[in-house]
Structure 1
Amino acid sequence: MNLRAFHDVIFLRSREEHSACPWPPSFWQKRERPRLSPLMLRILAVNVMALAILVGSLLYLGRYQDRLIATELDGLMMQARMSASAVAEGAVVLDRDERNILSPLLARLMIRRLVEASETRTRLYDTDDTLLADSQILLDPAGKVQAKQLPASTGLWLGDRAMGLFDLMDRIAAKSDYPVYPEDSIQRGNQYDVVKKAMEGEVAPQVWRMPQGGLLLSVAAPVQRYRQILGTVILTRPDTKINAAIQEVRLDILKIFGVTLLITVLLSIYLARAIARPLKLLAKAAESVRRGQTQMVGLSGTARLLNHNAIPDFSYRRDEIGDLSTSLREMTSALAQRISAIENFAADVAHEIKNPLTSLRSAVETAEKVRDPERQKMLMQVIRDDVDRLDRLITDISRASRLDAELTRDEAAVVDIEQMLSTLVGFYSLDKTGGEKTAAVVLNPKPSNELRISGVEARLVQVMQNLIANALSFAPPQSQVVVKAQAVKGGMIDLIVEDEGGGIPPNKLEAIFDRFYSERPKAEKFGTHSGLGLSISKQIIEAHHGRIWAENRQDDAGHVIGARFTVRLPAQSED
């Protein structure tokens, strides 16, 4: 099996799995995004809605209207008293019986002058509730003409529509406790409660609700002459000034609202672009990675995305989008490294499997041609050794390939270093299978019982077993393999395994942790190790956020007296 054939098998399986995917083809197609960002619409809706509710509540101005009504009624009451006093002084005559009565002619002339060029309507009733004078009816040679104040126009179609909208708002939100104004063609004083109260000598105010909308303010005052009530003056005034004041305030609010709305929209667009645009770029880049439209090139052992479809870097923002960008970039980089690692692993596996297969093929072909029983027996032993080597190699490869997934599933716990190492060393001291031909494993000095780390104890034991077994294979008989544990600076803990063997070639101190690298004693039978032990140990330690390295032990003269393997792991925090 060559490297190309091995890759073909892997990628064929990948295509088969992809073709068997239960998702529809539309899932893999590029999703069309709307031109206007939904996120921008949501931001605009929230900001503008909050502003509109605030402005709507301000435009209602209910309490402000009540204060204006009270002020207008106070002024109207004063005017009603003055009008009643003026009528009592200038429109009262004596009848045949020498009694004081109101003169309709004088009353009309006086009332007309009192309310001239005013929107206040003044009416005069006698004690029989008969209408004597009405300022809304002007006498001229042509007869009686009714005068009504017309509403002012803004001169602009949009302004008139806005005023109409405000009037509609007022009608909807108008108070319903005001009585409806009861005016008809035959006007009698007893139709109005305020007139009845005025006939009793009381100045009575009243607010009416007009059928066509709006309010009518009224005040009735008695016309008295020497404490004799001769009639009643009732003044009515529409809420024109009140509405004008409210409309003026509303227009000022609308001007402020317009400026505020413009600023809000601009800020919302800026905020939406500051959020939506980076997210859209990140989504587009992530989709490009998913669709395989990026180029991965290895630099210094790591794979990077180099073209314009790479994940954008927003880490300078120092916010959640920056964190998302950093996470996506790190995830993509890790994915690229994992793809590169898988390719390298596949190449290494193909190479390592090819060696015993080549040896096995050569032995089989030779065995067919050899007739010597001794040589055939020797070749059969070679075949058995190659088969065992393949079996061991495939088993170790299977374990190594599952290691990442198993490390992800394993739950970390607090590991007592002293207890773990004491149990492990005790196991080796009870194992007498090697007799005097093997070195002794000792724990010296005994670690402190305060040394603890967070990790998967079974995996850490596996690492220490690999290191101790490796040291035993190189240590001379009746020597010692020393196991140590100690705290170091930076909140770290070192686990150390030392032997008294021949050491490690200086140029191989890092290579021994590569996959399938095997540096065995000369006396050891070839092919008994797959070369994955130290590589697996390094993978486990790095998953625990630690590091592992090897170095040679030297005496005072600089001679190598053994090897030392150090595992450095972060200590368990006191929190």
Structure 2
Amino acid sequence: MSAQTINTKPSTRVRRRLISPITLRILAINLLALAVLLFGMIYLEEYRRGLIAAELGTLENKAKLFAAAITESATSPDPTTTQGLIPPLAQQMVRRLVEASNVRAILFFDDGTLLADSLLLIGPGGSVEVEALPPPKSKDTMRDLLEAYDRMVARLWQPAPVPEQPSGGKPLVADFPEIEQALAGSPGQAVRPTTNGSMNLSVAVPVLRYKHVVGAQVLGALVLTKSSSEIDAAVFKVRLDILRWFAVALGVTVLLSLYLAGTIARPIRILAAAAERVRRDRHRKRKIPDFANRHDEIGQLASALSEMTDALWLRMDAIEQFAADVSHELKNPLTSLRSAVETVAHINDPKSRERLMEIILEDVARLDRLISDISDASRLDAELSRADAQPVDIGRMLETLANVAEASAGERQATIHAEIKKRAPLVVNGIESRLVQVFQNLIANAVSFSPTGGTITLKAERVNGMVVAEVLDEGPGIPDGLEKQIFARFYSHRPNHEAFGLHSGLGLSISQQIVSAHGGTVRAENRHDGANGPQGARFVVELPAQ
């Protein structure tokens, strides 16, 4: 009695998780692209700089128009006079010019002193500074948060903020360095970050008067300043639109990712759990779920697992049946051997004793053949799975086997010849030694059943992508109804002239196993010639051509 080996290695069980790793990976990969889009919002500064450049160009054109209007309306009409700007008229013009726009206009004399400021109203009681009221406070918390985020991002790409009017009180030339360029006769521009996160855009242009003698005369400098609030609002709108579309894309991506993960991860978990149940099942009641309605890789995987499970069960059944057949076949010679050994001890007649010894030797030889054939059959699958297939020319193989078999036919004196039709290559992909074994078994079987001096014919041709080889003899043929039974293990139907026990009954079974492993088939049938009954047996082997 042999002890059963127990596998103590812990099995890998299917773990139940709230979210599968595949789902997390799909979500992570799909969200990565959206994250790149979200971080791309930070790099809208190029768009902002383009808007600022366009706004500065607009301000410069507007400042030139204002300067030309001031020259025409706030200077002396006499071109020969040296009088420059007329302060009352200049102040009035500055206020009127900016009434329809949201810019601040500041006018300086040519010596840098302040002449007019659109935000300073000069009256009997002194000057009053006009300050724009801030927009009403928003009640939308989400919008406020986005605006705060927008200001924070804007500060990342701006220099340190400075006060809108560093000197305080009235504006000075020192507050606007671009005025020096304007007083020199050419326009100047400047962009100043402010403490509230926006920017102050400033353009300075010279106020010129043309004379016949001296040419252009710089009477002063006009500065137009404007907040970047409109630009900030435009950039913020772009960011807000991106966020809205990002939210939509995020929702769609998450839903599609979950759906995709569900169509992949869930069936795989079901298959893994089913495989675990099948592994633990002892009564073959568990089956692999059928996903045949899925025409994708999951369906193919389910079909492959189901076929693999059925093949494993068939292999286990074959192993059990093989063990039972081996036990039965070994029991007969062992019983005979035991009886002979027990009897020989009680017999004194030399002839009877000699006969019993012959029986013992025959049984030992039979056991040896059985064990050799059983060993060959048991390791056949493993050898076929490990060996490398090579191109094998079946036509040349049969010609060689015909010459060898005829030379060793012995007392049967059989004539063995090959009829090979070489119109097409007769090459298959296989293991040559095992294919040789198949045809040797068939030829030996034909020789044993052929009459003395009979003819055995080996044929081969290519038909519809298959190499068809035949072994034909002139023996009594196969008993009716046993054409398939003769390929069963340990089945033995031998001619009368052969001694009992010379064959194990595994030759045809092993041949069929080898041919099946090569993707082919082997069958047996009788040769008929009119109404005279069987004229011999025909074994047909079909193998896929290379």
C-alpha separation in 2, matches of 1:282 and 1:153: 59
CA contact (8 A) 1:414 1:455 kept: yes
C-alpha separation in 1, matches of 2:424 and 2:62: 100
Q: Cα offset for 1:471?
A: 1.0
Q: What percentage of aligned pairs have identical amino acids?
A: 47
C-alpha separation in 2, matches of 1:79 and 1:445: 102
Q: Cα offset for 1:499?
A: 1.2
Q: 1:349 aligns with which of 315, 318, 326?
A: 326
Q: 1:328 aligns with which of 299, 305, 308?
A: 305
List gaps (5 residues or longer) in structure 1.
Answer: 20-24, 297-305
Residue 271 of structure 1 corresponds to 260
Q: 1:195 aligns with which of 179, 189, 210?
A: 179
Q: 1:466 aligns with which of 438, 441, 453?
A: 441
C-alpha separation in 1, matches of 2:44 and 2:95: 35
Matched, 1:293 2:281: yes
Give the 5 Å matches for 1:390-401: 390-401=367-378
C-alpha separation in 2, matches of 1:143 and 1:449: 113
CA contact (8 A) 1:487 1:493 kept: yes
Give the 5 Å matches for 1:357-376: 357-376=334-353
Q: Secondary structure at the match of 1:508?
A: coil
**Cα shift readout 1:461-497 (whole Å, capped 9, x = no counterpart):** 1111000111111111111111111222x21121111
C-alpha separation in 2, matches of 1:129 and 1:287: 91
Structure-2 change in CA distance of 1:278 and 1:209 (3 Å):
same
Structure-2 change in CA distance of 1:228 and 1:143 (3 Å):
closer
Q: Cα offset for 1:195?
A: 0.8
List gaps (5 residues or longer) in structure 2.
Answer: 211-215
Residue 103 of structure 2 corresponds to 120
C-alpha separation in 2, matches of 1:554 and 1:127: 130
Q: Cα offset for 1:329?
A: 2.3
Q: Cα offset for 1:221?
A: 2.2
Q: Secondary structure at the match of 1:61?
A: helix
**Cα shift readout 1:167-215 (whole Å, capped 9, x = no counterpart):** 22223245x6x99788421643155342112213333333334466432
Q: What is the TM-score when the length of structure 2 is the normalising length?
A: 0.88
Q: Cα offset for 1:92?
A: 5.5
CA contact (8 A) 1:119 1:149 kept: no
Residue 465 of structure 2 corresponds to 491
**Cα shift readout 1:401-432 (whole Å, capped 9, x = no counterpart):** 01011111222121122221111111123226
C-alpha separation in 1, matches of 2:121 and 2:492: 123
Residue 41 of structure 1 corresponds to 24
Matched, 1:256 2:248: no
C-alpha separation in 2, matches of 1:475 and 1:195: 124
C-alpha separation in 2, matches of 1:201 and 1:509: 116
Q: Cα offset for 1:365?
A: 3.1
CA contact (8 A) 1:315 1:322 kept: yes
CA contact (8 A) 2:291 2:302 kept: yes
Residue 299 of structure 1 corresponds to none
Q: Cα offset for 1:99?
A: 5.3
Residue 215 of structure 1 corresponds to 199
Q: 1:453 aligns with which of 404, 416, 428?
A: 428
C-alpha separation in 1, matches of 2:126 and 2:272: 84
What letter corresponds to residue 280 of structure 2 in structure 1? G
**Cα shift readout 1:216-267 (whole Å, capped 9, x = no counterpart):** 2111122345654332121111110111122222222322222222222211
CA contact (8 A) 1:179 1:207 kept: no
Q: Secondary structure at the match of 1:128?
A: coil
Residue 130 of structure 1 corresponds to 113
Q: Cα offset for 1:396?
A: 0.8
C-alpha separation in 2, matches of 1:425 and 1:117: 114
Q: Secondary structure at the match of 1:517?
A: coil
Matched, 1:65 2:48: yes
CA contact (8 A) 1:515 1:532 kept: yes
Residue 76 of structure 1 corresponds to 59
Residue 213 of structure 2 corresponds to none
Residue 500 of structure 2 corresponds to 526
Which shifted more, 232-241 or 535-544? Answer: 232-241
Q: What is the TM-score when the length of structure 1 is the normalising length?
A: 0.84
C-alpha separation in 1, matches of 2:423 and 2:281: 54
CA contact (8 A) 1:129 1:190 kept: no
Q: Cα offset for 1:502?
A: 1.2
C-alpha separation in 2, matches of 1:367 and 1:333: 51
Give the 5 Å matches for 1:409-428: 409-428=386-405
Matched, 1:512 2:486: yes
What letter corresponds to residue 64 of structure 1 in structure 2? Y
C-alpha separation in 1, matches of 2:152 and 2:386: 67
C-alpha separation in 2, matches of 1:131 and 1:258: 52
What letter corresponds to residue 526 of structure 1 in structure 2? F
Matched, 1:184 2:166: yes
Q: Cα offset for 1:519?
A: 0.6
RMSD of aligned residue pairs (Cα, Å): 3.0
Q: Cα offset for 1:273?
A: 1.3
CA contact (8 A) 1:417 1:485 kept: yes
CA contact (8 A) 1:418 1:448 kept: no
Matched, 1:166 2:143: no
Q: Cα offset for 1:60?
A: 3.6
Report how many residues are paired.
535
What letter corresponds to residue 241 of structure 1 in structure 2? E
